[in-house]
Amino acid sequence: MPDFVSRHQLTDEVLAKKEAEMREELKAQGKPEHIWDKIIPGQMERYIKDNTQLDQAHALLSQTFVMNDKQTVEQAIAEVDASIKIVDYVRFELGEGIEKKEENFVEEVMAQAKGAGA
């Protein structure tokens, strides 16, 4: 589960700490220092996407806006008011929380047969 809701919650401190960890990892792998500046930006972007809910593949902001399928949720928010920030959200799976009644097909047929024979 991601540690943050959006990029806005990632502080400079958190990003600097992660970058330092990445530099140590590259050093341990024996990668030459002159290519670190080419590797780290991609790794940082990946870290941000993996650790922020709104930036993941099924992200809320990149989804099509329900009221207008020609724009994303992010575009709709910007159109309404740029100061709106999403601080939390919940994602439900289709059918989640619905209790399915257990049915026994044989008993159901027998009950209908008894009802038809009466």
Quick: pLDDT tens for 6-48: 777 888 999 999 999 999 999 999 999 999 999 999 999 888 8
Once rounded to an integer, what is the mean pLDDT over residues 81-107?
75
Question: Considering the entire predicted model, what is its pTM?
Answer: 0.48
Write out the DSSP string of 23-80: HHHHHHHT--GGGHHHHHHHHHHHHHHHHBGGGSTT-TTTSEETTEEEEEHHHHHHHH
Average pLDDT score, the chain = 81
| pLDDT score for 36 | 92
Once rounded to an integer, what is the mean pLDDT over residues 83-92?
74
